[in-house]
């Protein structure tokens, strides 16, 4: 890992780990985040990107890793990271009460990603769309469906 990558990791690791918690919950968040970061660091494209493009690329990769994890969840075997990046910044902890995760876990991975980027990262619709590689219309659609699903779950 280059010093630029280490600086990028130090700067953004906590927010990416929060996003991972929102995508897959506390039991697999670190595994999904580790798999995503290892995946992007292994590409030639990574070194050609600026910081903002790296953030978007890593978010998309993390959403894809979360989807893969979800498909493997039934079979599940533990995903083992080749090496741990926790030593660089320590292990950030994101607290999410079980009741909150129960409600959030009813959303699809894409809906969780859109909700997280919109409300926790405070990104506008265009930036969320660019970050996830989807259209603005898809962002609106996922937000609308997520809000309706959350309302139903909370009101029940």
- The CATH number of whichever domain residue 9 belongs to comes to 1.20.140.160
pLDDT at residue 32 tops 80: yes
Report yes or no: 122 and 74 within 8 Å, Cβ to Cβ.
no
Report yes or no: 85 and 39 within 8 Å, Cβ to Cβ.
no
Higher pLDDT, 46 or 85: 46
Report yes or no: 109 and 156 within 8 Å, Cβ to Cβ.
no
What is this structure's pTM?
0.60
46-81 pLDDT per residue, tens: 889 999 999 999 999 998 898 888 776 644 443 333
Coil/strand/helix, residue 39: helix
Lookup: tokens for 3? 């010093």
Question: What is the distance of C-alpha 91 from the center of its chain?
Answer: 16
86-96 pLDDT per residue, tens: 444 455 555 55
Q: How sure is the predictor about 99, in pLDDT bands with cuts at 50, 70 and 90?
A: low
Average pLDDT over residues 96-120: 79
Q: How confident is the model at residue 27, as a pLDDT?
A: 80
Lookup: tokens for 1? 């890992």
Q: How confident is the model at residue 67, as a pLDDT?
A: 85
CA distance 130 to 124: 10
Find the domain containing 21 and state its range.
Answer: 3-155
Counted residue by residue, the chain has a size of 156
CA distance 28 to 112: 15
111-154 pLDDT per residue, tens: 888 888 888 888 899 999 998 889 999 999 999 999 898 888 87
Report yes or no: 121 and 130 within 8 Å, Cβ to Cβ.
no
pLDDT at residue 82 tops 60: no
DSSP state, residue 46: G
Higher pLDDT, 27 or 111: 111
What's the structural domain count of the chain?
A: 1
Lookup: tokens for 39? 């995946």
CA distances from 143 to 54, 112, 146 (A): 24, 9, 5
Report yes or no: 104 and 112 within 8 Å, Cβ to Cβ.
yes
Q: Which of 114, 124, 119, 4 is nearest to 59 (CA)?
A: 114
């Amino acid at each position: 890992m280059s010093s630029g990558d280490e600086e990028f990791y130090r700067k953004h690791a906590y927010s990416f780990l929060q996003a991972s918690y929102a995508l897959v919950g506390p039991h697999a968040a670190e595994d999904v985040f580790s798999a995503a970061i290892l995946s992007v660091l292994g590409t030639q494209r990574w070194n050609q990107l600026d910081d903002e493009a790296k953030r978007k690329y890593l978010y998309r990769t993390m959403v894809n890793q979360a989807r893969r994890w979800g498909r493997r969840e039934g079979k599940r075997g533990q995903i083992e990271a080749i090496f741990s990046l926790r030593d660089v910044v320590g292990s950030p902890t994101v607290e999410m009460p079980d009741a909150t995760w129960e409600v959030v876990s009813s959303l699809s991975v894409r809906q969780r990603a859109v909700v997280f980027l919109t409300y926790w990262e405070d990104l506008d619709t265009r930036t969320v769309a660019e970050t996830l590689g989807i259209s603005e219309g898809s962002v609106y659609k996922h937000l609308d469906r997520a809000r309706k699903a959350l309302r139903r779950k909370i009101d029940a």
